[in-house]
Amino acid sequence: MAKAPKNEGRTIADDIAENSAENTLALNPLIGVRSQDLVAAAGTVMKALASHPQLVAQQWMSFATEFGKIVGGQSDIAADPKDRRFADPAWKTSGIHKALMQSYVAWGKAVTDLVEKTDLPEKDAARARLMTSIFVDTMAPSNNPLLNPTAVKAFVDSGGKSALNGLRNFLDDMTKNGGLPSSVDVSKFKVGENLANTPGTVVFRNEVLELVHYTATTEKVYQRPLLVVPPQINKYYSVDLSPDKSMIKFLLANGLQPYCVSWRNPTPEQRDWGLDTYIAALDEACDAAREITGSDTVNIMGSCSGGITLSTYVAWLAAQDLKKVNAVILAVCVLDTMAATDNDFAALVTPESVMAAKQMSKARGILDGQDMAKMFAWMRPNDLIWNYWVNNYLLGNQPPAFDVLFWNADTTRLPARLHGDFLDLIFTNPFMNPGKLSINGVPIDMRKVKHETYVIGGTTDHITPWKAVYQTARIYGDKTTFILSNSGHLQSLLNPPGNPKAWYVKGVTKEKDADAWAAGATKHEGSWWLDWAEFLKARSGDEIGAPKTPGSKKHKPLGAAPGTYIFEA
């Protein structure tokens, strides 16, 4: 396998796996990219450029001037040192490759600056930036097998074997992976064996979910359970990956009792399952956890769309004055849909695109996870397409064997009605506008929700930006504890103790502005998991003897973890 030039002992696959783990489907945009949207965006760009001939001429002359310097060996322009596409020393030491790299960087900057300087309306400008970034990334010389020096070296060193392996990988992906480069070597993992393998038992099952109770590893446990609500658009075992990064194992080691929801993977037969269906199923799971443990209330945790579901549930309970929940934990979850408009995905959201997305899933009965994955990949092409293109095809390597990427590729579906319900939230923004959402006739009003709350965001999370997650914390009150973890979307959660680079910022949400909060909050070295464990212990009741058998007389064991729903393709 070709080695990354500047990182001895690590392969290129290792590097792309680590970076790609930051780009997961955990809150994948639910709005598809329509061909007419792309054509319209391209047309908008061309029209804007045609109306600014002087600007086009200026940018072209600027590029031409820089190109003259590049040809004469006088240019100082260089790629970003963090850009792994140009990590091979040949991009600096070889005259030809250096000129290629510099020309590409200069051209990409000229194109990007040109689009930035056009006076397009905000929405059109966002779409133009998105289209331009995809186009510029696609044209990188590192994607070309004849121009990429690492690929050329691999071809020579292997006697052409790398090219044959790459062709084999390409043909496999054309037939088995929908035409996109594979992101993970799936042969290295098996759910229930080296993933999602913490001992436990399914203690409750309905049509929508299974409830997994994990086997205690301490002699005593805290009585109040923690009910974990994962996103519906992923399988639940992100909280129970390999032993060294399993949230479940960490909770068990601290004497806590995790009960985890495993959502069923719906088919077109379940097309009419909506948010109300999931709330009713979650309520049954909550009652089962309460009955088995003998606790009047549960602590409850949700991430991403699971946090949306959780928040709807606690508001539904509050509206009926039902006391089933004690403390709330939310991770990388945006409730205020107007607070997350400064990212690439916002450019796709229009009434027309939302309606088209709803009509498509309604016609099929489901929103397929593979379709979501393809669309999401083109939102982050360098990390989710071209990295693998180079590794798998140009170098002839196998994709990385990384547990997070296996989980990310193990996609699920959404029922058409639930998909429509989530899309409706974009414009009704019900967590900020009481009464805009009702569950079985019960209006949702977050002002009635009164729970101690702990919210986590990630510093480099581009899917649920941390400042938008901070506003989620504010919705729960100005005494909410907010944790800002130093990583991206999923990696900010999979942050076990022992990581020497880990740190987090902690404070209550009394400030309206996220930057003002950050200025006054306290930075801590290490993993936020340790702080989280103390938060939970203080709110989990008395310590009691660990249960000797799973379930109860009412809720008998139904089978071993990770259950059956997780295996439904």
pLDDT at 342 over 70: no
Domain boundaries, the chain: 13-157, 201-378+407-567
- How far is 330 from 472, CA to CA, in rounded Å? 9
* Cis ω for the linkage preceding 562 (within 30 of 0): yes
Spatial contact of 285 and 204, defined as CB atoms under 8 Å apart: yes
Q: At what angle do helices 275-293 and 416-428 cross, to 10 degrees?
A: 100
Tell me what the mean pLDDT of segment 53-73 comes to.
91
Nearest alpha-carbon partner for 498 in 238, 233, 246, 149: 246
pLDDT at 38 over 80: no
Residue 530 tokens read as 């340790």
- How far is 320 from 180, CA to CA, in rounded Å? 48
Tell me what the mean pLDDT of segment 86-111 comes to.
95
pLDDT, tens only, 466-495: 999 999 999 999 999 999 999 888 888 888
- How far is 490 from 492, CA to CA, in rounded Å? 5
Alpha-carbon distances, residue 326 vs 225, 296, 317, 319, 448 (angstroms) = 10, 9, 12, 15, 14
pTM over 0.75: yes
Nearest alpha-carbon partner for 228 in 296, 320, 326, 328: 328
Residue 271 tokens read as 């097309």
Alpha-carbon distances, residue 547 vs 68, 262, 325, 337, 391 (angstroms) = 76, 22, 22, 42, 49
Least confident of 2-16, 123-137, 290-304, 379-393: 2-16
> Model confidence at 337, in pLDDT bands (50, 70, 90)?
confident
Query: Which residue do the tokens 């990949």 mark?
Result: 377
pLDDT, tens only, 106-158: 999 999 888 888 877 777 777 788 888 889 999 999 999 999 999 999 999 99
> Helix H segments across 51-189?
53-71, 90-93, 95-117, 122-138, 149-157, 161-176
Tell me what the mean pLDDT of segment 32-55 comes to.
73
Residues identified as active-site: 304
Tell me what the mean pLDDT of segment 503-528 comes to.
95
- How far is 197 from 190, CA to CA, in rounded Å? 10
pLDDT at 50 over 50: yes
- Give the type of residue at 259: Y
Spatial contact of 561 and 202, defined as CB atoms under 8 Å apart: yes
Alpha-carbon distances, residue 118 vs 60, 124, 491 (angstroms) = 14, 10, 36
Nearest alpha-carbon partner for 260 in 531, 569, 568, 565: 565
How high is the pLDDT of residue 36?
A: 67
Q: What is the 3-state secondary structure (H, E, C) of 399-412?
A: CCCCHHHHHHHCEC
How high is the pLDDT of residue 339?
A: 81
Q: Is the dihedral of CA 362, 368, 371, 373 positive or negative?
A: positive
Tell me what the mean pLDDT of segment 489-508 comes to.
90
How high is the pLDDT of residue 31?
A: 64
- How far is 465 from 454, CA to CA, in rounded Å? 17
Instruction: Note the CATH number of domain 201-378+407-567.
Output: 3.40.50.1820
Task: Share the mean pLDDT of the chain.
Answer: 89
Q: Is 78 exposed, middle or buried, given 0-12, 13-18 or 19+ CB atoms closer than 10 A? A: middle
pLDDT, tens only, 151-190: 999 999 999 999 999 999 999 999 988 788 999 999 999 9
Least confident of 22-31, 110-119, 187-196, 316-325: 22-31
- Give the 3-state secondary structure of residue 485: strand
- How far is 108 from 105, CA to CA, in rounded Å? 5
* Residue that wins the pLDDT comparison between 368 and 191: 191
> Model confidence at 88, in pLDDT bands (50, 70, 90)?
very high
The 10 Å Cβ neighbour count of residue 546 is: 15
- How far is 304 from 297, CA to CA, in rounded Å? 23
Nearest alpha-carbon partner for 303 in 461, 527, 522, 515: 461
Residues near 27 by beta carbon (within 8 Å), at least 6 away in sequence: 231, 233, 304, 305, 332, 334, 463, 464, 489
Residue 397 tokens read as 């390597």
pLDDT, tens only, 415-448: 999 999 999 998 899 999 999 999 999 999 999 9
- How far is 259 from 298, CA to CA, in rounded Å? 10
Alpha-carbon distances, residue 113 vs 38, 117, 124, 307 (angstroms) = 20, 6, 15, 38
Share of the chain above pLDDT 90, in %: 70
Q: Is 530 exposed, middle or buried, given 0-12, 13-18 or 19+ CB atoms closer than 10 A? A: middle
pLDDT, tens only, 260-306: 999 999 999 999 999 999 999 999 999 999 999 999 999 999 999 99
Spatial contact of 420 and 177, defined as CB atoms under 8 Å apart: no
How high is the pLDDT of residue 32?
A: 59
Nearest alpha-carbon partner for 309 in 210, 425, 410: 425
pLDDT at 391 over 70: yes
How high is the pLDDT of residue 16?
A: 46
In b/e form, how buried is each residue of 127-162, taking b as 16+ CB within 10 angstroms?
bbbbbbbbbbbeebbbbebebbbbbbbbbeeeeeeb
